Structure 1
């Protein structure tokens, strides 16, 4: 009697896994955002780009996901949504995160190295968000693989989200 391993079957094209509904909301148009959107679509996410400054979307056509909106609320984050802010220096950081925290998003994170101060904390406090709510924001995000390029940062971020969704620590611990 042979048994089948679903992971092996999937790897060999035997069947497609059912991830259930999942959305990745990427806040701010950046080089990392472009890679996140492309990679996320490949692994089964519906993707939404939030860019409050439409002028940043002009120019060369770029992959902007399944939908492009100007606010977090318009992205419609729900309990199946992972939300990643790709620029911690934008003036809209606080308001974008406040709106994300007011939503039902499953997971919220801000890119930024641990060695730098976390500007989102002060921005949220100025908007009256309490510390317990601010603590829902993950930073740093992604797996620690020594990422240096936008594609590597996006890959580490997405791998971390998948690990979190699957209840795994990430890395080489099996």
Structure 2
């Protein structure tokens, strides 16, 4: 194995171990078969597939596979003929950030954990965010969520659900989430509430295209009424988004 490939493998392995989004491009056919290139979100890369045309194709396709979080095989036409590439995407484990330690949140944690999500409930109100109410959550944080988001940095595997109905908590949290590459962002409330929320977010400097990322009213329309049903509708929408069935 070449020294460069060994370095790329080490970086790839380290990124996966640390839960960082990364992809490895490999030439499956052609004169440079086996050549590898490490790809990062944002356009960064290391190594080469042995031909500028292949490198450019891998970088161009990387944005799409990072957005879908799915590995992909593609054919690239070169001067020497078609070459098959494989882009192996390794997303970090999905994390569900729940803003608001309300009744819906308790059921949402249960459903999310059953689906393999790491669950974090964030609420500065200690009367709500009590350990005895959320013993099943992976983390319970009694701080302002926008400050937490600013520290941790939401990545492409993050899903954010905002549930408090308190503008002082919800809107700054949404503003931080909308400026991140979070996979899913949803907020509880009626269409009228969301219209008011959108105006407040514009006042915070968000653009229409950013605000349009919010799923509101939150959840798939299954006629949900009880907290457990609303949580089920939210989780179903998150799964649909992650599987590419809903934008």
TM superposition score category, shorter chain reference: 0.7 to 0.9
Identify the residue that residue 115 of structure 2 maps to in structure 1.
43
Identify the residue that residue 16 of structure 1 maps to in structure 2.
none
- Alpha-carbon distance in 2 for matches of 1:150, 1:94: 22
Identify the residue that residue 159 of structure 1 maps to in structure 2.
236
The aligned runs of 1:84-163 (5 Å cut-off) are 84-114=161-191, 116-118=192-194, 119-163=196-240
Establish whether residue 29 from structure 1 lines up as the match of residue 101 from structure 2.
yes
Larger CA deviation: 56-65 vs 120-129: 56-65
Q: Secondary structure at the match of 1:48?
A: strand
Identify the residue that residue 16 of structure 2 maps to in structure 1.
none
* 1:72-127 alpha-carbon deviations (Å, 9 max, x no partner): 4155421011111113344222111111112221111111233x331321221221
- Alpha-carbon distance in 2 for matches of 1:79, 1:57: 26
Alignment check: 8 A CA contact 2:94 2:117 kept: yes
With normalisation by structure 1, the TM-score equals 0.76
Of 48, 59, 65, the match for 2:137? 65
Q: Which runs of 4+ in 1 moved over 6 A?
A: none
Q: Secondary structure at the match of 1:91?
A: helix
List alignment gaps of at least 5 residues for structure 2.
Answer: 1-90
- Alpha-carbon distance in 2 for matches of 1:61, 1:163: 28
Q: 1:75 to 1:113 in 2, by over 3 A?
A: farther
Q: 1:147 to 1:97 in 2, by over 3 A?
A: same
Greater percentage in strand: 2
Alignment check: 8 A CA contact 1:37 1:63 kept: no
List alignment gaps of at least 5 residues for structure 1.
Answer: 1-18, 170-174
- The alignment covers a number of residue pairs equal to 151
Question: Larger C-alpha radius of gyration, 1 or 2?
Answer: 2
Q: Secondary structure at the match of 1:24?
A: strand
